[in-house]
Amino acid sequence: MKKIDILNMSLQEKQSLALTVIKRDDPFLVSNPHNNKPVILTHVPRTAGVTMDAILLGVAHYFKRSWVRLPGDAYSQYWGNPKPNILGSVTELKEQLNDAYLISGHMPFGLHQKLALDPIYITVLRDPIERAWSQIRRIARDDGELSDPKILELINNGGVIDNLQVRMISGCLDKNEKCDEKMLEQAKYNLLNYYALVGLVDNFNVFLTSLLSGLGWPDLMFRTRNISEKLKEDPSLIVHRSLTNQNEYDSVLVEYAKNIVLKKSSKFISERDSRGEFKQLQVEDTLFSLDPFTLGDNSIGVLGHDHFCSLEKELLGAGVNLSKVQM
């Protein structure tokens, strides 16, 4: 894909651009990740994971550490194009995974057991009906013939698997295993006891501010990615009913998550000093990760304080939708 320099975009193009800036409570304190635990993002499909991947790529660049994005799917779901089984990817990339600072992908909970890691687990959850419908919209990018009968067939045949969030957070690896109360309770247990930070798509920026502050990552400017182009309308009544029935346990898990999100965020920030080593910056850095857009020749880079302030003024003056989140 051709890179587009934001500074050379037309006024109309700039006004269609949406960026977010996260400003931390202590912009001069950053991590020394060479002595810190690896971070594993359990990327439930359609929960801002592609946006997170762009951020992780930028963070890896900033700290000069490696990021591994595991390809594949654990449940042989239908995506329009075939995807490998993610367990095969774990085996193939074992050496890189053991050396990585950042790991993401559609891998259910439990990667640390396969690699003997002591990681920091994080994840983002989403309203189950919205998440499943977004997944169907994603499929529509590669399959323009999706109609209600075909969508229902996908749902009934496991092409869009039931209770995906419970399955992934519980550590289920068998698509044929029935999702039940026991699996739900395991997912709740893992979320409470193993996940250091839990976010919700509806409060994504709250999750990010906690993540950056708790891990000592720099201030961040990014763009939202991966918005489905097809099937933007709401699901039909019959599809909505089917998705509701299919995601009963996911609904319970997300409600449970809502009750622990703020407590986990507060704890994640307050325990920052026990999580690793930190160093003090002399100047305030803002990391940007904007692919496929660039600033000058770079889609990833670091702006000093004065440069960022100048750029912010220019972008706002051009009508760019620039949201600023300050801790």
Least confident of 60-64, 148-152, 224-228, 296-300: 224-228
pLDDT tens string 129-183: 999 999 998 887 766 667 889 889 888 888 899 999 999 999 999 999 999 999 9
Q: How far is CA 301 from CA 25, 219, 306, in A?
A: 21, 12, 15
**What does the alpha-carbon distance between residue 144 and residue 316 come to, in Å, rounded to a whole number?**
37
Q: How far is CA 236 from CA 157, 231, 255, in A?
A: 19, 11, 24
Chain-wide mean pLDDT for the chain?
Answer: 91
The DSSP 8-state label assigned to residue 194 in this structure reads T
pLDDT for residue 116: 85
Residue tagged 């749902």 (tokens) = 155
Q: Which domains are present in the chain?
A: 37-218+229-277 (3.40.50.300)
Is a pLDDT exceeding 60 seen at residue 226? no
**What does the alpha-carbon distance between residue 154 and residue 306 come to, in Å, rounded to a whole number?**
52
**What does the alpha-carbon distance between residue 103 and residue 111 come to, in Å, rounded to a whole number?**
10
Least confident of 149-158, 210-219, 227-236, 246-255: 227-236
- pTM of the full predicted structure? 0.93
pLDDT for residue 26: 84
Give the pLDDT band (50/70/90) at residue 231.
very low
